[in-house]
Amino acid sequence: MFTHEQRLLEDKIRAWLQANEIPVPDAFKWVPLPFSGEWGISLALFPLAAQEARRAGKRVNVPARAQEIAAGLAEHLEGAPGFSHIEAVRGYLNLYFPTAAYAQRVVGTILKQGADFGRGDSKGERIMVEYAQPNTHHSFHIGHYRNAILGESLSRVVEFAGFDTIRASYPGDIGLGVITVLWIYDKFYKGQEPEGIHERGQWLLKLYVEASRMLEPRPDETPEEKAQREAWDAERREMLRRWDAGDPYVRALWEETREWSLEELRAILEMLDIHIDVWFFESEVDGPSKAIVDELIARGIAIDERPEGPVIVRIDEQLGLKKEKYRTAVILRSDGTSLYLTKDLALAKRKFEQYGVDRSVYVVDNRQSLHFRQVFKILELWGFEQAKKCYHLAYGFVSLPEGAMSARRGRLVLFKDVADEAVNRIRRVSAEKNPDLSPAEREEVARTVGLGAMAYAMLSVDNNRDIVFEMERALSYDGRTGPYIQNAHVRASSILRKAGDLPSQAAFDYPLSDHEVTLIDQLSRFPSVVQQAAEEYRPMVMAAYAYELATAFHAFYHAVPVLQSETPDTRAARLHLVAAARQVLANALRLLVIHAPDVM
RNA sequence: GCCCCCGUAGCUCAAUGGACAGAGCACCGGACUUCUAAUCCGAUGGUUGUGGGUUCGAGUCCCGCCGGGGGCGCCA
């Protein structure tokens, strides 16, 4: 926020350190001052003191020496422009901003930049985020939801931070699981599909569950049952072979049912306000992937053991590692058909070459960590520079209190069911809290706040942590939740609505209360939080920030009168502050894929 | 056997190697004639699994151990 003044200051500090023969750091690590009623930044001098002692080769009392340096700097910098006063405290150099000017600048900048406040300068790099990779012929469950919302939030964060961003979806539209559904549909259920996009999508899942039960060996089965099961399984495998051979009947059946799943997926993504730029389908990268294997063999990276064995890459051996770390990857079956890994190599190549991406992020659950380490290493061995900037955003998978979800066993929680329940609950709460809303408004509130609760429940947990999905917790609207943050936005909107037009002028030259100072402090941090969340690929950082900002606003709202301020001047300033808070809340919520409502 | 993730308040989780380890839930006590109480204020709650090491400084980095989860040649 005060980067210009900060830079001038750093030059002065460097000069003074040099003059006093104290080590000069490459970069200064400024940290916001722990809040004490005034804003400022601070610098720890311990590293310099320690470095100095090491250079001199003698033992010194580092904290004392740090304090000495801080005091020297404080004296030297006295009166620096842009700062009200400067102190040396316990080895830290603390610089304070002039209160009125700081508040003015923070609030003024926000109101001027609006929805762009916090947007980072262009990084000149293109990033592709791959997420939303559900299998077709299933239905979208709560685990897919975590994936989608995490990927979308990350996309919005990196885009806002300054990356040219491409959103990619990679549905698994082929494989034995898909064929299983095709088989049972064709044999027993053809033409019996229900009406309705979601009903039909979920119906495919029911077929999958039933088929899995029919095809799974049972310990107590009779010889007749066993024969029947094996006959069915043979039919299923024959169907996969026919698909592979391009059989028109199987292909047509596949395309029709696949479209049902994709329709449901598109409907859900639309509901979540997710707009995918590029669709990759597994069935599309199947062909090109085989050419890659040939190249890897020709270059001596892969070993062809066909026909007795598959095509493999001994990654540890290639890297000269003694321990098993990347292990051996199988990149082609002995019968010449491609694998998951083969397809991911082909897809990565396409991302680099066709879409010119510099960085590639894969939002996939952490059970596939080894898979992606193998993919990235093979890409590196193959010679792709961008492989070093490939990142697997491994998030913990979502399970249920009764154990892991299992599509095969039909033990899963569907996203749509949870979303419907969320909307119902919020509709009831809204009717109770705010009876004056029109039915149309109520529906909109129920939808956006219900989905907001769900999104926040997913994003407020760090990626690497597993989530045990419990309805009560996920749909909570008390405390640290989406609705809490949305409510702060509603309250700000309400004040502004009642105030009418925003005063053209506002100055913060009156004694600010702690609540105002804290709120302004939070507002000023938003741009750096955007950068941090993007650098670390962690939407949770933004989720934590949004909550803290909302807390600061709620406390302010409760304690500080705005419309009934003591004087017109304070009223004007506070209205500007409320407008700024509303703006930043909206910006933060947008990055969390949560709608910022004006009423609720 | 090897690799990865995790272990912080009763529970669920935070904390760029920096100042006093913080929130929510739950529990207890307060605040609606007010800009919407989906809120606020306060109280209670900790040997950061454990033993070493590095550092001026460790919840954070390194090594060992214990406990939980996941993964490891032709599933995705």
Q: Which residue is nearest to nucleotide B37 (CA to C1')?
A: A433
Q: Which residue is nearest to nucleotide B20 (CA to C1')?
A: A34
Looking up residue A37, the CATH number of its domain turns out to be 3.30.1360.70
Q: pLDDT at position A148, please?
A: 95
Å between CA of A544 and C1' of B76: 33
* Spatial CB neighbours of A82, under 8 Å, sequence gap ≥ 6: A2, A4, A5, A8, A9, A97, A98
**From the Cβ of A63, is strand B under 7 Å away?**
yes
Domain assignment present for residue A188? The answer is: yes
What pTM, to 2 d.p., does this model score? 0.94
The answer to whether the Cα torsion of A293, A298, A300, A305 is positive or negative is: positive
Domain assignment present for residue A41? The answer is: yes
A176 & A91 share domain: no
Residues in a beta bridge with A167: A129
SS (H, E, C) A160-181: HHCCEEEEEECCECCCHHHHHH
Helix axes A568-591, A482-499, angle to 10 degrees: 140
Whole-number Cα distances in Å, A379 to A181, A215, A341, A508: 34, 38, 11, 56
Q: pLDDT at position A2, please?
A: 66
Number of domains in chain A: 2
Residue ending a domain, choose from A62, A97, A132: A97
Domain assignment present for residue A206? The answer is: yes
A93 & A190 share domain: no
Q: pLDDT at position A25, please?
A: 84
pLDDT in tens, chain A (600 residues): 667 777 888 889 999 999 998 888 877 888 877 766 778 888 999 989 988 888 877 777 888 899 999 999 999 998 888 888 899 988 999 998 888 888 999 999 999 999 999 999 999 999 999 999 998 998 889 999 999 999 999 999 999 999 999 999 999 998 888 999 999 999 999 999 999 999 999 999 999 989 988 988 888 889 999 899 999 999 998 998 899 888 999 999 999 999 999 999 999 999 999 999 999 999 888 777 888 999 999 999 999 998 889 999 999 999 888 788 899 999 998 888 888 899 999 999 999 999 999 999 999 999 999 999 999 999 999 999 889 889 999 999 898 887 888 877 778 889 999 999 999 999 999 998 888 889 999 999 999 999 999 999 999 999 888 888 888 888 888 889 999 999 999 999 999 999 988 998 889 988 888 899 889 989 999 999 999 999 999 999 999 999 999 999 999 999 999 998 888 999 999 999 999 999 999 999 999 999 999 999
**From the Cβ of A23, is strand B under 7 Å away?**
no
Domain assignment present for residue A477? The answer is: no
A83 & A176 share domain: no
Residue ending a domain, choose from A257, A277, A297: A277
Q: pLDDT at position A324, please?
A: 85
Domain assignment present for residue A178? The answer is: yes
Domain assignment present for residue A29? The answer is: yes
Q: How many CB atoms lie within 10 A of CB A309?
A: 12
Q: pLDDT at position A218, please?
A: 81
Q: pLDDT at position A4, please?
A: 77
* Spatial CB neighbours of A379, under 8 Å, sequence gap ≥ 6: A345, A348, A349, A386, A387, A390
Report ipTM for this prediction.
Answer: 0.94
pLDDT digits (tens, 9 = 90+) for A26-73: 778 888 777 667 788 889 999 899 888 888 777 778 888 999 999 999
Domain assignment present for residue A9? The answer is: yes
Å between CA of A324 and C1' of B63: 20
Question: Nearest nucleotide (C1') to the CA of residue A135?
Answer: B76
According to DSSP, the β-strands at A359-365 and A390-395 are: parallel
Question: Nearest nucleotide (C1') to the CA of residue A308?
Answer: B74
A90 & A181 share domain: no
**From the Cβ of A565, is strand B under 7 Å away?**
no
Residue ending a domain, choose from A234, A261, A277: A277
Question: Nearest nucleotide (C1') to the CA of residue A311?
Answer: B74
Residues 487-546 of A with CB under 7 A from strand B: 487, 490-491, 494-495, 498, 540-541, 544
End-to-end CA distance of chain A: 33
Residues in a beta bridge with A513: none
Q: pLDDT at position A213, please?
A: 86
Helix (H, G, I), strand (E, B) or coil at A390: strand
Question: Nearest nucleotide (C1') to the CA of residue A397?
Answer: B70
What is the domain extent for residue A76? 3-97
Q: At A402, give phi and psi (nearest 5°).
A: -90, 5
Give the closest residue to A73 by CA, choosing from A35, A26, A39, A22. Answer: A22
Å between CA of A56 and C1' of B16: 29
Chain mean position to CA A307: 44
State how far the Cα of A38 lies from the Cα of A70, in Å rounded to an integer: 19
Chain B nucleotides with an atom closer than 7 Å to a protein C-beta: 1-6, 12-16, 18-20, 23-26, 35-41, 55-57, 69-76
Domain assignment present for residue A398? The answer is: no
